[in-house]
Amino acid sequence: MSEGMTPIVKNAARLVSGFIAVFGIYIALTGHISPGGGFAGGVILAAAAVLIVLAFGRAAAERIFTPSQCHLWDAAGAGLFLAVAVIGYFSGGFFVNFIGHISKGQVGKLFSGGTILVSNLFILIKVAAGLVGAFLALSAFRRMGADAAGGAIEGGQTA
Amino acid sequence: MSTGIYILAFAVLLAGLYAIVAKKNIVKIIVGLLAVDYALNLMLVLVGYRTGGTPPILVEGQTPAKLAAAAVDPLPQAMVLTSIVIGLGLTALMVALGIRLYERYGTFDTNRIRRLRG
Amino acid sequence: MGMEYLVLMLLGVMLAAVLIAVETRDLLSSVIAIGAAGFALSVIFLLLGAPDLAITQVVVETIALVLLIRLIVTRRDTTGETETPRDALRTALVMLAGGVLICGVYFALAGGPGKGTIPPFGQPVLGHKAGDEVPPGASADYLAKSAEQTGAANVVMAVMLDYRAYDTLGEATIIFVAILGTYAVLRRFGRRKETKEPEQ
């Protein structure tokens, strides 16, 4: 896992992962107009990062997004989503669509739906950062899990 | 037709339940949990389907009254959307547990994991 | 009406894939079969009029497949298939109880087309029977009033993030806790070092 794959895979990943990331952000931000939403967009954005980790190896990918950055963005996304709920509290009840009270916009345009657009953005950040952090934590275990027990597994199975 | 579709969905649920109960390999148990998750999401969406219905999205030139007469039920879909992503979080947690167990005991067999104490 | 036959056929494919995943001995085949079941499920969602769910199911299935293959790629331990008669008895009892319970619940709730609480397939309740007035907060109300009350065209997103946003907050919390659990299980530092390897 820490050495990456052949140059063909690396070049293909370099070309394609940018498009995947932009597609994920697009699906998340136009969630209130066409199908998709924050959760699907967040998972697609995480898939772009997972492609980078798989193609270039964990050590190279950690120079671009470190685990502590992932933790930070994860917590920030969750906290901001909660902040949207609490701010709505001051303008009516919990989770009231406070931007919608100011101006609803026209149905079908991008800037419509009030807090729905903002909530989709924060959910995108939260889901993507959480999944990338979890995948980085999981990919640290290939060497230790395989080599530490791999040599002894043949001895253990016959016991 | 109606009973047939529900019974097939129940059969997927029972197949997943069989894998959780009867199999001794951790990976088979994870696969069984995934099958139960799919079956439950499917059953929730099946309840809200309308014959010949359209997705509940307002397109150009459609009034909300026409949408309410032609669309499928949006409420089960909203609940199942969150359930699918929770299933992904659950899969990540189970895979992490599986990796830890293999690293600690060297096997996926639950019989041997129970016997190695310590 | 061809749509329902297509759904039935895809459900059959999904059931076959799940049975293969549960019974086959090789772990990689099992994981790929459950991936096939997930993709069949996403096409079923598309045919049932749920494009949000189809998109989400496809990408979630891809990431789940990547995670599962990471688990088994160097650890192909296929032991654990021996079964004593005691285990077989326990399995049979649990399956019997499960089957009886599910059939009982179904026939108590459905009873027959139009007679119980689960509506027949294809005629959802939507909170509105012909001639009644729609109770507030029901699905027919959401469909009719979502454009003017929330301004969003996608009614599923409006339900999830405006009408029922509290449930989405709970779901974001569950994902947060699941990811925290993953970190806690895979943590290397700060735990008591295991001083003895379990194998000889």
When pLDDT is averaged across residues C49-76 and rounded to a whole number, the result is 90
Q: Which of C11, C125, C156 sits opposite B81 (nearest CB)?
A: C156
What CA–CA distance (Å, rounded) separates B68 from B88?
Answer: 32
Query: Percentage of chain C with pLDDT > 90?
Result: 36
In the A/C pair of chains, how many CB contacts fall below 8 A?
147
| Global pTM value | 0.86
pLDDT band of C75, cuts 50, 70, 90: confident
For position A149, what pLDDT does the model report?
40
Which pLDDT band, with edges at 50, 70 and 90, does C137 fall under?
low
Give the pLDDT confidence score for residue C117 in this predicted structure.
63
**For chain B, which domains are there?**
2-115 (1.10.287.3510)
CB C174 within 8 A of CB A54: no
User: Does residue B14 contact residue B98 with C-beta atoms inside 8 Å?
Assistant: no
Per residue in A43-60, pLDDT (tens digit) is 999 999 999 999 998 888
Report which residue type is found at A10.
K
Smallest Cα distance from B9 to chain A, Å:
24
**Are the beta carbons of A145 and B103 separated by less than 8 Å?**
yes
Cα(A35)–Cα(C46) distance, integer angstroms: 11
Q: Which candidate from C66, C70, C158 shows the least CB-CB separation from A116?
A: C158
- Residue B115 makes CB contacts below 8 A (sequence gap 6+) with none
H or E element at residue C52 = helix C51-72
User: In this predicted structure, what is the pLDDT of residue B4?
Assistant: 81
Query: What type of residue sits at position A101?
Result: H
Q: Do the chains contact at A35 and C199, CB–CB below 8 Å?
A: no
**Backbone dihedral angles phi then psi of residue B25, each to the nearest 5 degrees:** -100, 135
Calpha distance A143→B89 (Å, rounded): 24
Neighbours of A, requiring at least 3 CB pairs below 8 Å, are B, C
CA dist A38 and A43 (Å) reads 9
Query: In whole numbers, what is the pLDDT of chain A averaged over residues?
Result: 80
pLDDT tens by residue, A22-42: 999 999 999 888 898 899 999
Contacts of A10 (CB under 8 A, 6+ apart): A4, A55, A56
Shortest distance between the Cα of B113 and any Cα of chain C, in A, equals 11
A149 touches chain B (CB under 8 A): yes
β-partners of residue C154 are B57
Rounded to a whole number of angstroms, the distance from the CA of A35 to the nearest CA of chain B is 8
Are C153 and A35 in contact (CB < 8 Å)? no
- Burial of C196: CB neighbours in 10 Å, binned 0-12, 13-18, 19+: exposed
Q: Which residues pair with B25 in a beta bridge?
A: B109
Give CA–CA dist B24/A2, Å, rounded.
32
B55 part of contact set with chain A, CB < 8 Å: yes
* pLDDT tens, residue by residue, A101-153: 666 666 767 777 778 888 999 999 999 999 999 999 888 766 544 444 433 33
What residues of C are in contact with residue B62 (Cβ under 8 Å)? none
Query: What one-character DSSP code corresponds to residue B54?
Result: B
At residue C122, φ and ψ (nearest 5 deg) are 110, -10
What is d(CA C70, CA B71) in angstroms, rounded to the nearest whole number? 41
Q: Which of B57, B88, B99 sits opposite A138 (nearest CB)?
A: B99
pLDDT at A155 over 80: no
Using a CB–CB cutoff of 8 Å, tell me whether A137 touches chain B: yes
